Structure 1
């Protein structure tokens, strides 16, 4: 029921373009804490670096913490930051519900809390949750997939992150709804089969292992759809090892990992949804500093960056060779 409540809350979200982000300066003493639930993947490492840089550019002192994918540790990290006197807290939550008491306690102490990237349950007392528009990104990816495959029968291997993850659910359902609607609109029918779902734990290694299992059971796969680029990149390695790359279209609902962009440029990878970790971090810090300054922002519980599907036609707009992610 909580997942349904959260998805419903997304309907009233604020949308912001990357161009709308502007560097802000703290009007007074500013101490920012950045509580990451993990730094164990390039995406999150890039996000932490960008958040630190944005905080320092705003004239704030900054401390960061790695929750090491452990909710109890992340709760402790938040408590330590509040005790140390941070007045802005940026949190990428390990668990949507599990972090609610820690966030509420921080807000009760006068800390301005902004959630970032991973979803925090809207029952918590925080300013807003900054993220990519997972559903809208997914819809655009689905529409692109329908156009690319032109009504041919699709046998899709679905690679999901972790069971019960609200972000993963929004991503896959966004792609599938966009795909189905575009198929019906353009061709009057939809010949789509999800032949199997594998759980890749958001990682390249997990995507490889899940794809190996799916290939064994379903050798006729012609589309691999992943909830992030890392798992699809791993799936590609499994396909390559099995001499099954030919005739398989690779797509991801989100992320925009540099390696995926490079393969999109060369035509080895179909498309991905835009999810820039640095842009999310900068926007989260900006919102937190503005709140500290007392500036009116008129935000809803969820603030989304502008969605986009990245393909061979537009990848040069987004590809940064020197990016960490």
Structure 2
């Protein structure tokens, strides 16, 4: 599969060179859910970018229901949108709705969540879970400095490919950096808890893991929210000292605040605002006949591990997330 990686400079160029025709631009934003701050920020950023370009905007929250999301897309198509930004509830289940929209002349851009490549969309814009994870794992190996890793793993939900890619990316980076830098890799995942991507879920899962495993020295979560919940469980148990807090992805403001003060180790860059803005710009390029001929079905944002050394470069106090 062809894919692109957009650097910060390329993103800036993309955003500065695309102009919309206000009278022709009608954007639909179909979100799987707005219940989580990450997705709320993504929708708000896409809406703001489209409105700034002079477009009219319709937005729908599927509330985690695939059937509702299919209906949302159909309703927006009937209303006359010509750009569709879609964060899919189900990679396979939304293919027919997306293909019908594309057949009607709507330019479809997928964001964040996987959509099967057989669907007729321009590109899927997301962060690289593998690249981010490997950078996070590399940081963790250096922070441990040859000491063994005794990991409590917090995962979102069973069978989720995003969560799988995130945890494997970190573990791959950790193992490789340990072997390369120290000649051995002493890594043990003591247990896996399922936190449903939420702060509350992370807290509950961590409470169970702490009971079973008193020698945890790393908490690895597939997103910041679960790690933030785990931190509360550690604090309540008097176990914060000596435990590194590591997230494979997101860049939530609360995590950034703790990274600044040294109370949270690292998180991978998964900026909802950047992804949403890029999606709108790609849609506008397609609408205006300016889409690059070599654009692939997958476009990655540039990866980064956010630590105390660089957190101020990424912190945005205006972001909802």
Confirm or deny that 1:321 pairs with 2:311. no
**Equivalent residue for 1:159?**
154
Q: TM-score, normalising length from structure 2? A: 0.96
**How far apart are 1:323 and its partner, in Å?**
2.2
**Equivalent residue for 1:71?**
66
Per-residue deviation, residues 199-218 of structure 1 (Å, max 9, x unmatched): 11111011111111111111
Confirm or deny that 1:26 pairs with 2:8. no
**Equivalent residue for 1:16?**
6
SS class of match (1:254): strand
Residues 40, 68 of structure 1: 8 Å contact kept: yes
Residues 138, 174 of structure 1: 8 Å contact kept: yes
**Equivalent residue for 1:4?**
none
SS class of match (1:198): strand
Work out the CA distance in 2 between the residues paired with 1:100 and 1:145: 39
**Equivalent residue for 2:302?**
306
**How far apart are 1:144 and its partner, in Å?**
0.4
Work out the CA distance in 2 between the residues paired with 1:69 and 1:168: 17
**Equivalent residue for 1:94?**
89
Work out the CA distance in 2 between the residues paired with 1:296 and 1:47: 22
Work out the CA distance in 1 between the residues paired with 2:308 and 2:109: 34
**How far apart are 1:44 and its partner, in Å?**
0.8
Work out the CA distance in 2 between the residues paired with 1:296 and 1:128: 11
What is the 5 A alignment of 1:219-238? 219-238=214-233
SS class of match (2:250): coil
**Equivalent residue for 1:133?**
128
**How far apart are 1:296 and its partner, in Å?**
3.1
Residues 282, 291 of structure 2: 8 Å contact kept: no
Q: TM-score, normalising length from structure 1? A: 0.95
Work out the CA distance in 1 between the residues paired with 2:146 and 2:45: 41
Confirm or deny that 1:108 pairs with 2:98. no
Work out the CA distance in 2 between the residues paired with 1:218 and 1:36: 38
SS class of match (1:101): helix
Residues 31, 88 of structure 1: 8 Å contact kept: yes
Residues 18, 279 of structure 1: 8 Å contact kept: no
Aligned structure 1 segments of 4 or more residues deviating by more than 3 angstroms: none
Per-residue deviation, residues 143-189 of structure 1 (Å, max 9, x unmatched): 00001101111110111111121211111111111111111111111
Unaligned 5+ residue runs, structure 2? none
Per-residue deviation, residues 212-270 of structure 1 (Å, max 9, x unmatched): 11111112111000111000000001111111111110000110000000000000000
Work out the CA distance in 2 between the residues paired with 1:174 and 1:205: 24
